[in-house]
A = this chain, B = another copy of it.
Amino acid sequence: MTTIPASHLDLLQSPVATFATIGPDGRPQLSEIWFLADGDSVAISLNTTRQKTKNLLERPACCLFILDLADPQRYLEIRGDAEVSADVDGVFVDRVGEKYGVNLRDYDQPGDERIVVRIAPSRINAVNMAG
């Protein structure tokens, strides 16, 4: 399955998701991130100085995991490869900032760059352990 079933579409409105990349030592690295729904998948804005960005440029394999914070037996897992593109004029980072009501560029240092990472899904799991 590479589409998100209707039963779990609401999770795309969650404020946060857990994002996994593979580090230089070959181990998974996880962190909590902001994201935007993007058609049948999700997209995130990353500062190019971050370790997770370096990981993705080395190995595009990644996974985004959205937990239902009110019912943590329910979640959506999107496995796939990162499709990286330039964030020309910061259009995308400003879209993410609009969702969260902040200017994400305020967190960047002078000279930092932003990229857009869209996940091309290879497999999507929609889980409800209580169901």
Contact = CB atoms under 8 A, between A and B. Distances in A.
B25 A65 contact: no
Interface of A is mostly: strand
Interface of A: 15-16, 18, 20-23, 25-32, 59, 61-63, 65, 67, 69, 72-73, 75, 77, 79-81, 122, 127, 129
Contacts of A127: 31-32
A32 to B, nearest CB: 6
Contacts of A65: 18, 30
Given A32-B75, A32-B129, A61 B18 contact: no
A22 B29 CA distance: 11
Contact of A15 (B16, B18, B62, B72): B72
Most chain B CB atoms below 10 A, which of A28, A59, A77, A127: A28
